[in-house]
Amino acid sequence: MKNTPFTNIHIGLGAKMAEFAGYNMPISYTGINDEHAAIRNSAGIFDVSHMGEFILKGANALDLIQRTTSNDASKLTDGKAQYSCFPNNEGGIVDDLLVYCVEANKVYMLVVNASNIEKDWNWLVAHNTQQVEMHNISDKTGLLAVQGPNAVKAMQKLTDMDLINLKYYTFVKGTFAGIENVLISATGYTGAGGVEIYYEENEGNGETLWHKIMEAGAEFNIKPCGLGCRDTLRLEMGFCLYGNDIDDTTSPIEAGLSWITKFTKDFTNRAQIEQQKTAGVSKKLVGFELVDKGIPRHHYKIKTQEGTEIGHVTSGTQSPSLNKAIGMGYVATEHASIGSEIYVEVRDKLLKAIVVKLPFYQG
């Protein structure tokens, strides 16, 4: 397993560690519910250094991004970011990602999922027909996500950059906690506000950074948080997790990602995806709340009351904020309307659920 710059800190704090995407990652410290509440109510810090980062440079960098991603990156100006995905040739999704515009038409940073770093890199290389300068900086880039309603106030102490007024899906670059060339963005995965801090790891500066962040957040009772509550937080917001809710077999249209699929340009497999958008799809990703007692889990079958299989659960949990069981899953389109009754099969029992509008957590 690979380590992040913060692995020794996690172990020293007594975190429950486990392998995730090839990395030794903290799952929880004081418990998922406790850490979840810290993010929703004040502030918490995640080590997400396992994520992948690519730099694309040159006159044809935007063209490569436009041809391989579903969203329209030409709309980005310096300091703006967008959520997007790499469509594959079969109508599915290679990965979902963030596109950061560092210098319009010249320099971009792509942030991809840890489990897909090599896959995504190879996908881009295969489509790089115009000699775009590409750099995989994943191994030398550290990334911390400080999330929660008090996160930005705490982090503002460590920089002259204006973080207080940093709008959603924008970023700034500068000196942070004494480290130069730090990129700080507001593209959070928790729905609780906060920032993401990208820096170049060099001779253990990450550990110093961690301690400065914890010191700055002390007045807000900032807590170290693991991937366990990161999952419950993102699920409450209805955010997709690659490998669960989207993958190589699910199209952006089926996954409810039409809003990041722009047909104003040409991109991989555009024709098939546009046909799905026009003609409709046979299955859709929906959110649901359980009426009966139980917890939906990944791959559980979704059925009608009569027992006919109509889909499957992709993500599910007991929501710490809402104190109810929630989930996402694909169901046949005729059962995807808000208010539809569906049934999740749990240990040979059919538990009633209701399709609801996302996000589950309204804040």
Separation CA 61–CA 88 (nearest Å): 19
Q: Is-contact 104 76, C-beta < 8 A?
A: yes
- Residue 354: φ, ψ to 5°: -125, 130
pLDDT band at residue 306 using 50, 70 and 90 as cut-offs:
very high
pLDDT band at residue 363 using 50, 70 and 90 as cut-offs:
confident
Question: Mean pLDDT over residues 34-38, rounded?
Answer: 98
Separation CA 233–CA 224 (nearest Å): 15
CATH code assigned to 7-48+139-236: 3.30.1360.120
What does the pLDDT read at residue 268?
A: 98
Asked whether residue 54 carries a pLDDT value surpassing 90, the answer given is yes
Separation CA 265–CA 288 (nearest Å): 34
Three-class DSSP category at 83:
strand
Q: Which CATH superfamily groups domain 282-356?
A: Aminomethyltransferase beta-barrel domains (2.40.30.110)
Q: How far is CA 9 from the centre of its chain?
A: 24
- Give pLDDT tens digits for 145-163: 999 999 999 999 999 999 9
What does the pLDDT read at residue 243?
A: 97
Residues contacting 96, CB < 8 A, separation 6+: 83, 84, 85, 86, 113, 240, 242, 246, 257
Asked whether residue 249 carries a pLDDT value surpassing 90, the answer given is yes
Where do the CATH 3.30.1360.120 domains begin and end in the chain?
7-48+139-236
- The pTM of the full predicted model, rounded to 2 decimals, is 0.97
Where do the CATH 2.40.30.110 domains begin and end in the chain?
282-356
- Give pLDDT tens digits for 268-285: 999 999 999 999 999 999
